Structure 1
């Protein structure tokens, strides 16, 4: 008879009994070869159903704790691995220390875990989610969520109606020359960058990057140890003249329509010079057109990809800022001859992109909702940009200088203060930002804060600038 089991009738009986019996076996309180009561007897002793006991016994037998001996009863298995049992009878089991192989070192500049909230107001790249047309989105979602054709597998390349919608949209809005078979739907822009790195880069291949620039590109393109060569800016855009002395490179990453984070825009002559340089040097241009939809006063220049026939350009974008980051859907547009290369790499990296989400985005675009949403957000962000810039000029004069083009979802503030300390201080006040110095590949040439105004309310715009007036004044005195 077993007398040391305690059963609480308010908790799942089967779970309790399994846990207590297995622990006692591991602790060698029931040693190998010892006999346990029959299921009938144990059920009677504990006042539980025999079915409950039988289910627990069956589970313990399937896991090798118990064994049945014909005509004799149920016993603790004779081959219970004693390495998992403590040597002292009755002692509490201690987890065994197991030697594991050496872990790889984190590369320099690797992202480390952080408790900071990525959805605070003024977080760069975060759109105005409160203004998202969620009812229209949900109607489309409900229309698709029960379709059997969207419950299975689809194509590595992406849902054809979405590829068609993307090709038509970037063709009309950005002048991109492509058809739907050149479009690959990705799991966000970051996967597009990682795919490019996997396809194009061999050990030792150099990659040119804007400096300062988008950190996500640096992480993806440098993850195999390829040298990342900083290319400085001039007048807040990539300095094309410097490229003549930059040396050979396999890839060049740039944000020509709204340089990230400084906001400059390459003009038509600079774009032509960039493509001519790339053709001479056999370098592929990665054109990240992430912010092209939010120009407030003038229509943006056409994408580099569409300006020339046979341009060595890999064009990429995503729906993180135009719709919402949680979708994790982007797109990569490449020449026909590269499509199979991308699909082979995508098969290894992550497989298909979520099919239901793709179908909802496709209908959202085709129904005209996407264009209407962008029109509203363009006006929304223009008003916030004007208000934020005005507040900064009025209240932060002498403390911070805004660097802004009439486009995008963020504003850069520069000044004579330690930007990483100010970034942390702002987070403690409940506001997001990123330090400008973190965007430099080499030594930081400026200190500043990259502040995304799109997600902030009118009151938060005023409150944050008032807080900055106090915080930056203190920081500048240190």
Structure 2
């Protein structure tokens, strides 16, 4: 409902008691998400900025304004109090509330410009403050937001998280004074030691606590790699299709991104070897070998060794993103590339977003010795320390065995969800989609040829379902269309409803 003030004329008085009529207030929206108090406050500020309420004018009483504007008196009182705090109005005991004689600078500037525009030809406004090149680039981009909806990729099953155990550990740590100060910029030492133990046994990673840098999730980890290892124009080899977040994080250094195609849904090592001369200037290879994102392929051990040898011979870094390797359903997780080489050119990256929960915002890098100092200093300069409480809780969660038990439990549940979802798609949508599903991870891909998958994604969003358009993961025009669907945070009913909806739409 829009309440129209266009016919309302409010009487204001100056110091000499002369009544004057001020032009009407604009309409305001009772159904808006913006609070009514804020809308009315903005109308007052706007009238002052436009010079329609000038210094010295006395406002009607709060009771009178409440009657005129047909809103509660309490709302008007809160508006007037806020205007006082901001310096727009002042009160005199026994006399009333007046428009201030000393209007804040931003309003004075607005008035001056308004008056000047009446007498002079308006000039094209110059840029107020120049942004950096990065700032100008960021201004043209949009923030990617993903609500926690069923089928949103990357969201784990939050309902089955061991909340009681987690909260118990939080309570044990929250009164510890040592966790209230600063700490090693590399991260909380007990957490790094816990990771050494866990990653050595589960992923075959070879490192010491000194090699681990705790980061604010995978985005910061990739951003640090970009800033420390790449200059503008340097060549980056990036899986195609590949993880959108990595491409965005790397973009801050403005590299030349060379897409690397997939073979059997994993990075094509043969393609890189055959194009060695073309790729000679490249510095970093970004890859997800344990479970290619988003297509789900597993890079065979022989190809891993060939990739390591090629990168070593050609003087290149490998950034190994091990984002959800714990969730292989039919076999144990494949050993990480980092532990397969004696060469010091593999940077291993992991995160707790999918194994625990996204809001934790904790990740880590396993760094070769020569990269520890520059990465640590860069993180210290750019973001400083991370909160110690969460790091301490995660350290205990791992060391007390809760982490492994949680992974074992979720691996079983995700397998059941995966098999149910796969069966539904194959039964109902068999003639309409091509399912690309590996027995691993928290999502699957359905290829739907000759469709606008962005529009399809938006259509699902309207019905309360998350997804990603498959085309958005490609770095060039040679794309496939379809959907990336995260099944981890879904119920049986969710999966049945989504497949039924897709059947109707397609």
Same fold flag (TM > 0.5) = yes
Map of 1:3-82 to 2, 5 A cutoff?
A: 4-5=58-59, 6=61, 10=74, 16=80, 19=83, 22-23=87-88, 42-45=92-95
Q: How far has the Cα of 1:143 moved from its partner?
A: 1.1
Structure 1: gaps of 5 or more residues:
26-38, 47-52, 66-75, 89-96, 473-478
Query: Matched residues in 1 for 2:329 and 2:105: separation?
Result: 72
Q: How far has the Cα of 1:444 moved from its partner?
A: 3.4
2:454 maps to 1:420: yes
Runs of 4+ in 1 over 2 A off after TM superposition: 1-25, 42-46, 76-88, 101-111
- The verdict on how the C-alpha distance between 1:468 and 1:12 changes in structure 2, with shifts beyond 3 A counting, is closer
Query: Matched residues in 1 for 2:257 and 2:429: separation?
Result: 36
2:472 maps to 1:444: no
> SS of the residue aligned with 2:93?
helix
Q: Name the residue aligned to 1:188.
A: 217
Determine which of 424, 430, 445 is the counterpart of 2:464.
Answer: 430
Query: Matched residues in 2 for 1:197 and 1:112: separation?
Result: 20
Deviations 1:415-437 (A, max 9, x none): 22322221121111211111111
Q: How far has the Cα of 1:310 moved from its partner?
A: 2.3
2:360 maps to 1:327: yes
Cα contact 1:7–1:17 (8 A) shared by 2: no
Q: Name the residue aligned to 1:112.
A: 142
Determine which of 196, 204, 208 is the counterpart of 1:175.
Answer: 204
> SS of the residue aligned with 1:222?
helix
Q: Name the residue aligned to 1:136.
A: 165
Query: Matched residues in 2 for 1:270 and 1:106: separation?
Result: 41
Cα contact 1:178–1:333 (8 A) shared by 2: yes
Cα contact 1:317–1:332 (8 A) shared by 2: yes
Q: How far has the Cα of 1:300 moved from its partner?
A: 2.4
> SS of the residue aligned with 2:175?
coil
Cα contact 1:110–1:219 (8 A) shared by 2: no
Query: Matched residues in 1 for 2:232 and 2:105: separation?
Result: 50
- The verdict on how the C-alpha distance between 1:341 and 1:108 changes in structure 2, with shifts beyond 3 A counting, is closer
Structure 2: gaps of 5 or more residues:
1-13, 18-57, 64-72, 114-124
Q: What is the TM-score of this pair, normalised by structure 1?
A: 0.82
Query: Matched residues in 2 for 1:317 and 1:332: separation?
Result: 7
Query: Matched residues in 1 for 2:246 and 2:328: separation?
Result: 23
- The verdict on how the C-alpha distance between 1:421 and 1:161 changes in structure 2, with shifts beyond 3 A counting, is same
Q: Name the residue aligned to 2:175.
A: 146
Cα contact 2:162–2:406 (8 A) shared by 1: yes
2:351 maps to 1:351: no
- The verdict on how the C-alpha distance between 1:122 and 1:110 changes in structure 2, with shifts beyond 3 A counting, is farther
- The verdict on how the C-alpha distance between 1:390 and 1:111 changes in structure 2, with shifts beyond 3 A counting, is farther
Map of 1:231-242 to 2, 5 A cutoff?
A: 231-242=260-271
Deviations 1:106-133 (A, max 9, x none): 659975246x752110011010001111
Query: Matched residues in 2 for 1:241 and 1:403: separation?
Result: 22
Q: How far has the Cα of 1:447 moved from its partner?
A: 1.2
2:256 maps to 1:219: no
Moved more, 217-226 or 324-333: 217-226
Number of residue pairs matched?
Answer: 425
Cα contact 1:315–1:334 (8 A) shared by 2: yes
Q: Name the residue aligned to 1:34.
A: none
